[in-house]
Amino acid sequence: MTALLIKEIRSFLSSLIGYIVIIVFLLVVGIFLWGIPSLGGVSPNNFNVLDFGYANVDGLFIIAPFVFLFLVPAITMRSFADERKGGTLELLFTWPLSDIQIILAKYLAALLLVVFSILPTLLYFYSVWQLGLPAGNIDIGGFWGSFIGLLFLGAAFVSIGIFASVISDNPIISFITAIVISAFMYLGFEFIYSLELFGSIDLFIKSLGISAHYSSMSRGVIDTRDVIYFVSVITVFLSLTHFKLASRKW
């Protein structure tokens, strides 16, 4: 499995996609945090660190999920789709690896690229730390809770992207499918909850969405229920991927 994992990572790094994902993520987040000032005093950019007046990087954790909605599917869309389209998927199955090991290798390779894109944001934290009055006057617990939550959110989106990649041999279709499923998991349950149609189970419906658990982690407290939720989402979508791969034997 390690050999396949290394092969997948090299595949990302030998093409432009890996570098583009990291650069685009940091560029988009950086523009909102540091580049876009208040807009004429009418519609201020509340994410701008310098204009906001408080030493925090909350904007990073508000913007990042929406950037990931598009960038993570861009990473994962070729994981199985290209293998199937190019006819190399069957060759991959001749490796002395189980289906689960193949899935995990591709999942971990994509997840590592997501982690590589998140790690440089620690520079934003350090910058705001220095800008505080006095230096270091920042909610450390909230930052690390949000940072860990962002890692879990990225891991969940990667599992969805891997599943979307295995159900089609067209990378574009996989890309769109991953965006739709990820957006629904992140925002869909929140929207249904806001309609207040189901009475006593509205809160349960809200708890099914990623946003509720991501927001909970952003408070700086790592609740085991939130961790279990993210692990469950990842397990479900990787299991669906395994089920789809196993269906070839039927």
What is the structure's pLDDT at 234? 96
Residue 151, pLDDT score = 94
Residues 6 or more apart from 204 whose CB is under 8 A from it? none
Amino acid at 46: N
Q: What is the pTM of this model?
A: 0.88
Give the structural domain span for 127. 2-249
Task: Specify the number of domains making up the chain.
Answer: 1
DSSP one-letter string for the chain: -HHHHHHHHHHHHHSHHHHHHHHHHHHHHHIIIII---BTTTB--TT-HHHH-SS--HHHHHHHHHHHHHHHHHHHTTTTHHHHHHT-HHHHTTSS--HHHHHHHHHHHHHHHHHHHHGGGHHHHHHHHHHSSSTT-S-HHHHHHHHHHHHHHHHHHHHHHHHHHHT-S-HHHHHHHHHHHHHIIIIIHHHHHHHT-SGGGHHHHHHTSHHHHHHHHTTT---HHHHHHHHHHHHHHHHHHHHHHHGGG-
Query: Cβ distance 210 to 186 under 8 Å?
Result: yes
Q: What is the mean pLDDT of each run of 10 residues along the chain (250 residues)?
A: 81 78 85 64 55 69 90 88 73 80 91 91 83 71 87 96 90 93 93 82 89 86 90 96 80
Give the pLDDT of residue 180.
96
What's residue 62's pLDDT? 85
- Burial code of 220-236, b = ≥16 C-beta within 10 A, e = fewer? beeeeebeebbeebbee
What is the pLDDT, as a whole number, of residue 42?
Answer: 42
Which pLDDT value is given to residue 249?
64
- What is the number of other CB atoms lying within 10 angstroms of the CB of residue 121? 20
Alpha carbons 37 and 250: distance in angstroms, whole number = 58
